[in-house]
Chains A and B, each alone.
Chain A
Amino acid sequence: MDKQEYAEYIKRITPKSKIWNSIIRAFVVGGLICLLGEGLGALYKMWLPNYDQAQIGSLVSCTLILLASILTGIGVYDKIGYFSGGGSIVPITGFSNSITSAAMEFRKEGIIFGTCANMFKIAGPVIVVGVAVAMLCGLGYFIVGLFL
């Protein structure tokens, strides 16, 4: 076997994930997390009638983030993740899990150089790319606005 044949051979003998099984789990868990978000939104709207849509949304995100962080701390979130994969990575709770899990992992190197320096190890790119893309879009929007 040469390298190319070997690569194809390995691809053939490597077991595949059960796609349907796995995406259905992701669908259900992801859907439930979103449902929880919707439910919290409805609840907050009832309690805080003065808040506008954006503020309610912010509050819901904060609640989910906090909840996921606590679940990570007590060692539950990674079990949910093991079960559902993308279902608990894609929601904002996955973002929170990535920060808290890194914070916990690197705590032993101290608070400054461990926790603080490493907590955005996985989530960092999300904020960097998000902010960069938003700025780029903003720049375009601003320039277009000058000519209208």
Chain B
Amino acid sequence: MSTIIFNHQPRIVGWYSVAGKKESQGPLGETFSRIVEDEYFGGKTHEVAERRLFVTAIQGAIQVAGIQPDLVFAGDLLNQIVSSSFAMRDIGLPYVGIYGACSTMALSLINAAAYVDAGLVQSAVAAAGSHFATAERQYRTPLEFGNQRPPSSQWTVTGAGATVLSASKESKIAVTCATIGRVVDFGIKDVNNMGACMAPAAADTLERHFANTHTQPADYDAIFSGDLGQIGEEALRDLLKERGYDLGQKYYDCGKLIYAEEQKVDMGGSGCGCSAVTLNGFILDKFKRGDYHKVLFMATGALLSPTTCFQGESIPGVANAVVIEEVTE
């Protein structure tokens, strides 16, 4: 039930985000390292495009960091996490594939930090990404099928982000502690209401994190959740209020930040890429500029598959939180 403290404070030495056209037109458009207008990214299929997003993000982050990492932690939404593993053919580094649904960015960051902190490797990359078209095909209907999206639905972000962590003390931005989530299921079955499925898990993780670290929401410059969307954000606020924590004005949801209202995305963005591009663009850039000194970043995931949904199972959620902090020494 504990929160992991990283005593050696692994440093974030490089980050890179790549996003699609729709994301570039949103409020965070300026913060992405690279925009790819072509939804196929020059490939034959959307799956190839998603892989290329991964390769671009990981290579970009490595280049920014200027070091050769020892290990890559990455994951995505597709069956058998093919996007990240196939991308690794071009990266050529030892690789650990992980799955945390849309919470993958935080989960990979925590794992990379743990390896670096323990001294097992000198540096490691954490990456996550998603593509709207591949997610639609896997979880929903063909792209050209003419149906309406229910107002509670969310829009999968096309994009990938990568962060490089290192044991060297060159950078001042560090990962200091993390709370790994428990799988929480409040019995919601609606596949078109992911925020509602994930909010209880998010509340559980945050509550444990605040209790274990003896902190309050006000102790952070900002708190980010991954892709709860409008419904999930409201539910998280209310669930935490019930448990004695007021998230206040400094809490944001990446899913709500990434698109503008007129972009017709209903409740907001979702997918692994949503939190990944926000972290590796907007959030870390703010650290670089000195606007943020301590941020709680929590990515949320809905652990469903199309099979479990058709079999009438409810949708469990998970949320992984990690503290990113500016350190002095």
A and B touch in the complex (CB under 8 A): yes
| Residues of A near any B CB (own CB < 8 A) | 1, 3, 6-7, 9-10, 13-17, 22, 72-73, 75, 77-82, 85, 88-89, 94, 97-98, 100-102, 104-106, 108, 121-122
Interface residues, chain B, with chain A CB atoms under 8 Å away: 44-45, 47, 137, 141-152, 186-188, 193, 196, 200, 230-231, 234-235, 238-239, 242
User: In the complex, A69→B235 CA distance in Å?
Assistant: 42
Q: Whole-angstrom distance between the alpha carbons of A7 and B193 in the complex?
A: 12
Separation of A14 and B193 alpha carbons in the complex (Å)? 8
Question: Counting chain A CB atoms within 10 Å of each CB, which of B146, B147, B196 scores highest?
Answer: B146
Interface SS of chain B: loop
Q: How far is the CA of A89 from the CA of B142 in the complex (A)?
A: 14
Residue contacts A-B, CB under 8 angstroms, 14 given: A6-B188, A9-B238, A10-B235, A14-B152, A17-B151, A75-B144, A77-B146, A79-B146, A81-B146, A94-B146, A100-B144, A101-B141, A108-B44, A108-B47
Shortest C-beta distance, A29 to chain B (Å), equals 10
Contacting residues, chain A, for B147 (C-beta < 8 A): 81-82, 85, 89
- Which of chain A's residues has its CB closest to B230's CB? A15
Q: Is the CB of B145 within 8 A of A122?
A: yes
Closest to B144 in A: A101
Return chain B residues, CB-CB under 8 Å to A106.
142
CB-based contact B143/A101 at 8 Å: yes
Q: Do the beta carbons of B150 and A17 come within 8 Å of each other?
A: yes
Minimal beta-carbon separation of B194 from chain A (angstroms): 12
> How far, in Å, is B152 (CB) from chain A's closest CB?
5
| CA gap between A17 and B148 in the complex, in Å | 11
B314 to chain A, nearest CB (A): 9
Q: Which residue of B lies closest to A68 (CB)?
A: B146
- B142 / chain A contacts, CB cutoff of 8 Å: 101-102, 104-106, 121-122
The answer to whether A97 and B186 have CB atoms under 8 Å apart is no
Q: Which of A1, A10, A98, A104 contacts B242 (CB 8 A)?
A: A1
Q: Which of B44, B187, B235 contacts A13, CB < 8 Å?
A: B235
**Residues of chain A contacted by B149 (CB below 8 angstroms):** 82
Whether the pair B143, A13 counts as a contact (CB closer than 8 A) is: no
What's the least CB distance linking A93 to chain B, in Å?
A: 9
A121 to chain B, nearest CB (A): 8
